[in-house]
Amino acid sequence: MCVASRAELITGATSFRNGVPRTNRLNPALALWPDVLRRNGYDTCYSGKWHHDGKPSDKGFTATAGLYTGGGRRFMKPRVDWKGREVTGYTGWIFESEDGKPRPELGVGLTPGISETIADAACRYIRGRADKPYFLHVSFTAPHDPLLFPPGFEKMYDPAKMPLPVNFLPEHPFDHGNSRGRDELLMTFPRTAGEVREELACYYAVISHLDRQVGRVLDTLRETGQDRDTIVIYTADNGLAIGSHGLRGKQNMYEHSVNVPLIVRGPGIARGLRTDAQVYLRDLFPATCDAAGIPVPETVSGKSILPVLTKRAKSIRDEVYCYFGDVQRMIRTDRWKFAWYPHIGREQLFDMRTDPHELRDRIADASVASTAADLRTRLKAWLRREGDPVITA
C-alpha cells in the first residue's frame, strides 16, 4: 500500500543469471522510486516488512515507521501455525525502532495481530504530518504464511461452508518446477476438499483482518483532512493457490497467483473505473511521477498507467511477460496466455476470455495452433532480448 500525499516495488533493470531473473537493485545509476520523490521535495517513509537488500535509507527513504526486518534471530523460538505445523517462514523477523533497536515486545516472527501493529505505525505517521508532501509505503505481511488466526477472527469463516475453488484439483497434472517447494509442502498430497476448505477459512480470516487495517489507514487520512489531496495505491504480492490447480503456493503462472490486485484512488483518478489493461507493478513508479508533475527518469523501464486511470487511454501494453526461477516462462495478451516450462519441454495455452479459470489447456488444439505459434515466437524473442540463458535456439 502506498500513500502519496499532494500529488518486489523499488524497480531496477531485469537481468538473468543462470536462467534465474534478478533485479539489479545495486546499480547506483538506476533511479529509485522513493529517492526520486525525495529529491523532488517529498518526505519518504517506509512502514512494515522490509524485504530488500540494505536499509530503507539506502533507497531514498527519509524515515521509517514500524519497520519489520529479519534481524531478530537471537529472539527466535520454535512455533507452530494455526494447524500445528512447524513455522518455517519469517522465523527471525522483528520490528525495529527508527534508530535500529529491536523491539521483541511487539512479537517475533509473524504474529496473529501483526497487520494491526503495522497499521498503528502508519496511522501515527499520517497524523504527524505537517504541510510538506510525503510518500508513505506501507508493506503488510498478511496473508503470507505462517497463517495464524487474528484475535476475534477465529470463527469468521466456517470451513464447512467454504466453496472449493472452481479449478480445484487433488494434484497438479505435472511438475511445474516447484511441485515440492516449501509452500507446496504445507498441505498434504493429494489435496483433499476438507483440507482446502480449512486452509481457505484461515486465509480469508487473515485477509479480512488486513482489510480492516487498510480501512483504518484510509480513515486516518479522512480524519486528518488529507484524503482530498492524497493518491492511494493498493496492491499485493502474488496470491496463494490453496487448492486451485492442485497447488498451494504462489509460484505458478495461473491467474489466481500471477494476477495481483491493483486499486488506485485520488485526485484526478477516474471514479468507479474498472479496466482490463495489463500492467506491471513497476508501472506505478512513473505513474506517481506523472501525477506529481515530476519528470520520469530515463532509467525507468515501466510505463505510466496514469493515461488509463484518467480514461485518456484504454491500455499501455499489448502483452506482459512473467517468469519464476528458471522453470516457468509466460506471455499474456488481452485474451491469450501461453506458458512454457523449459526444463520439461511442456507448454500450455489458455483462452482467458472464454476460460478465465484456466480449466481447458488448448495447446494441442489444432484450431488455435497459429495463436500458440505466434505467442511462442513472441515469448522467446523477448527472452532473447533480455538475455535469458534458458533459450538455446
The per-residue pLDDT for range 192-213, each reduced to its tens digit, is 999 999 999 999 999 999 999 9
- Over residues 109-141, the pLDDT tens digits come to 999 999 999 999 999 999 998 678 999 999 999
Least confident interval from 19-33, 176-190, 192-206, 298-312? 19-33
Confidence of residue 21 (pLDDT cuts 50, 70, 90): low
Residue 71: per-residue pLDDT:
85
Q: What's the average model confidence in pLDDT over 210-223?
A: 97
Q: What's the average model confidence in pLDDT over 302-313?
A: 97
- Over residues 242-290, the pLDDT tens digits come to 999 999 999 999 999 999 999 999 999 999 999 999 999 999 999 999 9
User: 6 pLDDT exceeds 50?
Assistant: no
- Over residues 320-335, the pLDDT tens digits come to 999 999 999 999 999 9
Q: How far apart are CA 25 and CA 67, in angstroms?
A: 20
* Residue, of 97 and 17, whose pLDDT is higher: 97
Residue 59: per-residue pLDDT:
95
- Over residues 52-61, the pLDDT tens digits come to 989 999 999 9
* Residue, of 332 and 27, whose pLDDT is higher: 332
Residue 1: per-residue pLDDT:
58
Residue 191: per-residue pLDDT:
98
Residue 173: per-residue pLDDT:
96
Ordered domains of the chain (ranges, CATH): 2-317 (3.40.720.10), 322-385 (3.30.1120.10)
pLDDT mean across residues, the chain: 92
User: 23 pLDDT exceeds 50?
Assistant: no
Confidence of residue 19 (pLDDT cuts 50, 70, 90): low
Residue 20: per-residue pLDDT:
52
Contact indicator for 262, 278 with CB cutoff of 8 Å: no
- Closest to 379 measured CA to CA, from 343, 349, 344: 349
